[in-house]
Each structure stands twice: as structure tokens, then as C-alpha cells.
Structure 1
């Protein structure tokens, strides 16, 4: 998913000998098929700051969001798994799967988590897993679960606008950021995290890219249905990129190479901070049509001259 991404990885020690260590709460590959969209907010004011002194969070966010790149992937079924062994303390399993902002979305006041599971890990530690699919939760209160045991599947329930599982870690009722459990404000991964193997934490990146005959609808981008594998030689060639965690001043570069060499390059300046955004650029066919054959598109996201992410996609022109 992220060839060449700028990733921060550490092999950190646990916060303290008594503290639990956690694995991922989702059965996917963070370097390829899923990504972290948002972190815990460390700013007690109306501002926002994640553990790396960045802006991949929102005001008052109390967990880590492990996101899927599309609704299509969510529909195929992705397991939510226990991040550590413990006892199931509670579940919810009957809320509908409708993204907030869509037609028919229910009022989720006081039920923002949607369908989910709470696990007690002992000594005041617990984890909560939110936005799971209706009817997918397969554990019950009182069950003993092992690390990595399937709890259910990623859904669209509760206060959510994209498919993901929200993981909250709490100790004696207080929110703990597993990336910085001691709130050390180091502007990067702490030397004492709660992860067994710390997940990659890019400061932003590309969720997906693709070719299309015209600029696609945003709904199709999010659904995972916007990309095509073939284009008409007399039609447009459009290359698009779907990104997360972009900041004002970032640049998205689009390059298309045809059978005879480069045919197009465009740099798009991003002018504001956005949790998610897509951009597209392309070219109309010449009167004689495009050369038939295989074309490669490369989308690059840069910040302050540093490449955050790059994806390469192919299409055949007939």
C-alpha cells in the first residue's frame, strides 16, 4: 500500500513491568492493506496534538483508529481481534451499519462506539473496540479471550464516517495512549510504549490510487469502485490519488508513462489540513488516440520536500 512511505518504527520497552503489552486489534497488514487514520488527542484545550506533535487526531479523540482503505474491503469482512488476553466485560451487537452523514443514519448520541467489545485485562487495564459490524460480535460477557482471538468484524456502526476499528486503552478509567503511555510529549514514539511490536505510524500517506476515464465521484473513491483496468484509446486518461492526514503545503504529484515514454506530469498543491482528500489529474486523448498498450501511473505525496508516500498503478489502453 505504501511503497517508499516515511515510517517511524521503534522497538520500545513496556511502560512499566506491571503494564500490559498489546498487539494489533485488527487482522490486516498496516504496511499494505490498512493504516492508522487517527491517534489519541494529547491537547487538553480545544486544539489537537497527537503523540508525534502532529495533527492526525481530532479534539478529544480517546483512541487509535485502524482504518480500511475502502467500503469494499469492509464488505468482504475484516476481523477485529483481541489486543491482549483478558475477560470480556461487555458487548453491543445490534446497531445498524450506516455511516454518519448518509441517508438513514441513526442518532447515536450516547452510543458513539456503535457495536463493540470491552475487555478487562486486570489491574485496572481495559480495552474497548468500536464500530464493529452488526451481528458480527462472537464473544459474550464473561468469556476468557486470548491475544489475537477473533471478536467480530470491522463495521460501520456508531459515530463513524469511514470503515475502521477504534481501539481505546484505559487504566483505572483514564485514557492511555499506547504510543505514549506516560504522556512524555517527545514529539515521536515514546521509549516506553505499550505495543509488543510498535505499528508503523506515517504522518500522512496515500490510501489508494487508480486510473479512470473521468474524474471519479468521491463516493466511488471511498467505496473502492473508482479504479479501472482498461481505458479506451480515444478517451481521457485520468489518474487519481486518495490521501489521509494531509497538511497545508503538501504536494501531490501525478505522473503517467505510456508505451513510448512519459505523457503527463502535474503537481497539485494542497492548501489546507484535511483528514482525507482525493485529487485527480489527467489529459484528453490526441486526435489520433493514445498508443495502445500498458500505461503506468505514479502518485507521490510530499511534505516539505520529503516523500511521505508513493503508489504505482497500471492500466491497459485498447
Structure 2
């Protein structure tokens, strides 16, 4: 995967006043390159869901910020979870298996949605909670003092999760606080200048997660597992297909898929999203012509647009022999 440009984002740095907690992102990855924010706190007090910008990166009743990984392969390789602020560990769970909900053998987690997790108290009524950690990865104990940036464990698949991520909840006196907009718990569209982050944290309006080539339209499970993409194929493979996985897609968004080969553009197609989805993928390409494709390098480009705005671009490459 080749990141061609940085996705269009709103970067919010803190101008917090005395008494507020200050936070760092709780995950060891680059939020503009190798991981992303999938969901944020729900600001709709009714049955609907809206993030603090009145967008779709939330769901009804969501009480935290989800820092997500693009594939299960990245999660399996190990990605550390950090303490977002210094404090004292108030509770730990580390005994739940890493099984995605909806997969065969997934347990009933209706009373343990957080999965393996940690709660840290920061004083003055502030606390943070870290959910869905990898079983056996937790490095701290109840009562232990931790410092900002200290490793607490690793991103896992425990509890009520359908993709690899760490869910960060922030609470003040037991009430949920959105670190992007701490002054607006029940309203969206009023961007706060008092975000709780200690540095710029990119908040995307939606974007692309991963892109790749394959010799047929891949299934969603293989894309999520990180096994769908191929870097080399036979020039006589059944087809040449490029695909892209996106998040935060809205009805009316456009995904353009382009394949360029040694002799120029091989394929280009723009697909309009028919509905709003937390995650989705689109694919397109051509059947292999008689005699096969010309040998060489082929580049795929995926563009995600909303109205006149280019939200994100990803590139990928395959060699045909």
C-alpha cells in the first residue's frame, strides 16, 4: 500500500484550562498512515447517532473513541496500547479470549462488552478506560501508578468488537466526556477549542484504510484479515482487480478505482455509495485478455470524494510476470 496524500482531517490541539485532563492517543501507530479513528462519542441524545461534527463516525450510545487497525494481521503482529495520561490503575481484566463477535465460536459478552481492559484514575474525578485488549498482554496491576505513554497492553479482539481496535473512554465524575469536544456532550456542530489532546489528533471525515490487487474480487473477510492483496501475479491470471477498504462512507460519496499499466490506463471506474456505512469496500477491474497482460508493474489508485472534497487517496502496486 502506498499513501499518496494525507487524508483531509480536522486536527485539534488542546487549549485546556486548569483542572482538565490532558491526553495522548493511546495507541502506538501513526493516525495518518497506519491506523485511524473509526468511531467517536455519540452526541445525539436520541435514538440516532452523530459525532461531534454532526458526521457519521459514531453509533447510538457509543461512549468512547475507537482507535482502529487496518487488518487482523497488524493486530496479530502486536500494537501497544499506551496510558493516555498518568494515574493509578483502578481495575484490570485480562482473561477473555480474542474472538471477533460474529465469527464462529464467539462467546456471549453481553455483560463484559469491554473485554480485556484497564481503568485508570487520574484524580479530580477523571478516569480513562481501555477496552478490547489482547488476552495475556496486560502489563499493569490494580493499584499500580502509571505514567503518560506507559505501555498498558496490546490491541486485541476481546469483548464486543468486530474489528481490531482499542476503545478509549474518558469520564469525569462518572459522566462520559468526548476528548474532541468536552463542552458539548449532547450537541454536535459546535467545535470546541478546549479539546483534551496534548497535540494535534487528526479527526477524519472518512477515509481509506487499505488497498490492493487480486486476481478476482476478494471477499470481505480476506480484506479484513490482511490476506487479500497480492504483490505479484501471473500475467495470465483470470483477472486484474484493484480494491479499496474505506471507513466513514456516506451516501453519495464517490470511490474512483484506476489501474495503470506499462501501456497506460487499463481500467477506471467511479462508484457512488448508496448508503452510509462504518466500513465498506469496492473493487473493479478487467478479465485477462487472450494471451495475458503485458508483463511489468501495474499501479492501482483509489480516490474517495465527498462533493467537491477529496477525502483520501491510496495507491497499491502489483507486478505481472
Same fold (TM over 0.5): yes
1:231 to 226, 230, 233: 233
Q: 5 Å matches for 1:56-71? A: 56-71=57-72
Q: 5 Å matches for 1:1-318? A: 1=3, 3-14=5-16, 16-183=17-184, 185=187, 187=189, 189-235=191-237, 236-318=239-321
Q: Which runs of 5+ in 1 are unaligned?
A: none
Contact 2:43 2:188 in 1 (8 A): no
Q: How many residues align?
A: 317
Contact 1:230 1:315 in 2 (8 A): yes
TM superposition shift of 1:186: 6.0
CA RMSD of aligned residues (A): 1.2
TM superposition shift of 1:2: 6.6
Equivalent position SS for 1:170:
strand
- Deviations, residues 267-288 of structure 1 (Å, cap 9, x unaligned): 1111001000111100012213
Structure 1 stretches of 4+ moved >4 Å: none
Contact 1:10 1:198 in 2 (8 A): yes
Contact 2:44 2:188 in 1 (8 A): no
TM superposition shift of 1:188: 6.1
Equivalent position SS for 2:11:
coil
Q: Which runs of 5+ in 2 are unaligned?
A: none
Distance 1:315-1:133 versus aligned 2 partners, 3 A rule: same
TM superposition shift of 1:155: 0.4
TM-score w.r.t. length of structure 1: 0.97
TM superposition shift of 1:94: 0.1
Contact 2:12 2:195 in 1 (8 A): no
